[in-house]
């Protein structure tokens, strides 16, 4: 489980960089400048997890046909009809 974000001043992060690198393996470390978070130090695993969540945008013309077919066949649940008057 990832712990809450730790906040440290930039000067402290510079003096104790190794310590905060180790802490970033289990929790994000916000490095502050003038009391405001400026950067965040995270583990490579967390960075890679976030990168995997990036979305890829595909033009309709370039989308695989099975995805286009699935979109065209999709129907909202019956319970959502109560919102039809809003359209």
pLDDT string in tens for the chain (87-residue length): 556 899 999 999 999 999 999 999 999 999 999 999 999 999 999 999 898 888 777 788 888 899 889 999 999 899 998 988 888
Q: SS3 for 14?
A: helix
DSSP calls for 28-53: -EEEEETTEEEEEE--HHHHHHHHHT
What is the value of pTM for the model shown?
0.60
CB 13 within 8 A of CB 20: yes
Rounded to an integer, what distance in angstroms lies between the CA atom of residue 13 and that of residue 40? 11
Query: Rounded to 5 degrees, what angle do the CA atoms 34, 21, 3 make?
Result: 80
Q: Hey, what domains does the chain have and what are their CATH numbers?
A: 6-74 (3.40.1620.10)
């Amino acid at each position: 489980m990832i712990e809450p974000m730790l906040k440290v001043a930039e000067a402290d992060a510079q003096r104790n960089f190794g310590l905060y690198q180790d802490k970033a393996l289990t929790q994000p470390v916000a490095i502050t400048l003038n009391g405001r978070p400026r950067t965040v130090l995270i583990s490579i695993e967390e960075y890679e997890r976030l990168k995997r969540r990036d979305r890829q945008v595909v033009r309709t013309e370039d989308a695989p046909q099975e995805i286009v077919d699935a979109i065209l066949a999709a129907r909202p649940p019956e319970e959502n009809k109560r919102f039809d008057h809003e359209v």
